[in-house]
Structure 1
Amino acid sequence: MNVRQRRLNSDFQALIELSRDNPLIDFDILSNNKDRYVVIYRCRGLHWLPGRPRPSVANLHRMEIYLHLDYPRLPPQLQWLTDIFHPNILPPSMNGGVCIGKWTPAESLDRLVVRLGEMVQYKNYNTKDPMNLQAAAWAEENSSSLPVDNRPLTNHSNPLDIGIGAQ
């Protein structure tokens, strides 16, 4: 088994443990190669419904992760699949792009999945270099109401140091 396959197997096992330990995170594997997943978050986040004056709570979020051949040297390819209102995540109608900020090859896939879930919850966001300017302005104006969900996404006792802080 080569280094890449060992890493993919390790990431897969860690995702199994993460979803087993936390009912707020689940995943579907889309490839026998263990290189493509859909991650499902059952936590509170925000989306903006047409005709509404402000964002609304959304309790189900889905994103696709592709672990390309340059992973983990380069970050995985991410695409958001459900509507979301967040400074660093675009909804599918705007290409579903995700800005994860700092990436290192040492970051495991399960830690990245938790980090992205904490972004959904508005525990972590960056308004200084946003992808969605409207969401960044909203987050700055409503920072006292954030996060929108305080439930933990991991059983680790130490908080994650992810390089993106609430701004």
Structure 2
Amino acid sequence: MSSVRLRRLRSDYEKLRHYVKRHPRLQLIQADGDPPERYQLEYRIRSLRQVEDELTIVTSHLVEILLPRHYPRTPPQCRMLTPVFHPNIAPHAICVGDHWSAGEPLWSIVARIGEMLAFQSYNVKSPLNGEAARWVDDHPEQLPLDSVSMLIEETDQTDGIARPPAPAASPTTTLQLVDDRQVVPCPGCGARLRLNRKQPGQRVRCPRCQKVMVLHAESRP
């Protein structure tokens, strides 16, 4: 093993350990090699699984990341060890992007996978799962499924106060119960605002045009 690759693998391992230790929704299950070239991680994030013809919410996922022989010139090989219904995830691979930079650290890939599981990130133009891409196109008001931040700088801001716990497991929850928020169009710019349930008469400011609107009873879906 070249000294350049050895230094990179050691650096990735130390930074990834530090990242996972500081993020409340991640756990490093296994790291094989010295320094490691294969990882298994658990994500505690709300996502989707297809069981026969039904979509259900799942909150625990296992991911494997393999660093191939020519890494970092070639990208990591990522795959799910537990099934997930997502436009850019197939049983054999997770598509973490079309463009790979050798300078991108491994923890950044781990963060991107978390954003994908939460349906904060997806590409429906060139999907690995066409059915999941169609579902995303048909249900934009239900996304993201989880608002967790994968940036440790943001999770660290909760130090000293109660951090949001990992979502409770609900293996029998059906797709229709994904979330309890309402979608309201802004009368100023037309943006579709996804809001927590609010009482009629409450005021909401549009983050795009800054217009303040008053919610009415008919705004509820």
Q: Distance in 2 between matches of 1:57 and 1:29?
A: 28
1:105 aligned onto 2:102: yes
**Residues 19-58 of structure 1 mapped to structure 2, 5 A cutoff:** 19-27=20-28, 28-52=30-54, 55-58=55-58
Q: Deviations over 1:111-151 (max 9, x none)?
A: 01000110000000000000000000001111111010001
- Equivalent in the alignment of 2:171: none
Whether the 8 Å CA contact 2:120–2:143 is kept in 1: the answer is: yes
1:5 aligned onto 2:1: no
- Equivalent in the alignment of 2:15: 14
CA shift at 1:90, angstroms? 1.3
CA shift at 1:50, angstroms? 1.9
Under a length normalisation based on structure 2, what TM-score does the superposition of the two structures give?
0.65
Q: Deviations over 1:50-78 (max 9, x none)?
A: 242xx211111111111111111110111
Q: Distance in 2 between matches of 1:146 and 1:51?
A: 20
Long gaps (5+) in structure 2: 155-221
Q: Distance in 2 between matches of 1:129 and 1:81?
A: 22
Aligned length: 151
Q: Distance in 2 between matches of 1:61 and 1:103?
A: 24
Whether the 8 Å CA contact 2:20–2:26 is kept in 1: the answer is: yes
**Residues 50-89 of structure 1 mapped to structure 2, 5 A cutoff:** 50-52=52-54, 55-89=55-89
Q: Distance in 2 between matches of 1:100 and 1:19?
A: 19
Q: Distance in 1 between matches of 2:19 and 2:49?
A: 25
Long gaps (5+) in structure 1: 158-167
Under a length normalisation based on structure 1, what TM-score does the superposition of the two structures give?
0.85
**If you compute each CA radius of gyration, which structure gives the higher value, 1 or 2?**
2
Tell me which of the two structures has the higher relative contact order, counting C-alpha pairs closer than 8 angstroms and 6 or more residues apart: 1
CA RMSD of superposed structures (Å): 1.4
Counterpart code for 2:93: G
Counterpart code for 1:37: Y
